[in-house]
């Protein structure tokens, strides 16, 4: 295994973890909305932005790993 393969594997793992984390956060928040109201509109927007960034960064890292290989 070369250094490039190792870096691609690390990028893939980091990307998959961020993608999973972002999707899971969004799912858990939607599940929680059934039980409790959103504290404020700004808090909801900030949370959606954070989830979106996690998903985009995770997808980008997965794509970078594929390009490296």
Task: Return averaged pLDDT per consecutive 10 residues of the chain, 69 residues in all.
Answer: 90 93 85 72 87 93 91
Mean pLDDT, the chain, integer: 87
Q: Which two tokens stand for residue 66?
A: 């594929």
* Cβ-based burial of 15 (10 A; exposed 0-12, middle 13-18, buried ≥19): buried
For residue 13, what pLDDT is reported? 94
What is residue 35's predicted lDDT score, i.e. its pLDDT? 67
pTM: predicted TM-score of the whole model, two decimal places: 0.77
């Amino acid at each position: 295994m070369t250094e490039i393969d190792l870096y691609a594997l690390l990028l893939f793992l980091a990307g998959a973890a961020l993608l999973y984390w972002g999707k899971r956060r969004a799912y858990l928040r939607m599940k929680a909305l059934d039980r409790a109201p959103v504290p404020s509109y700004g808090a909801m927007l900030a949370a959606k932005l954070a989830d979106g960034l996690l998903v985009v960064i995770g997808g980008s890292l997965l794509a970078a790993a594929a390009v490296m290989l």
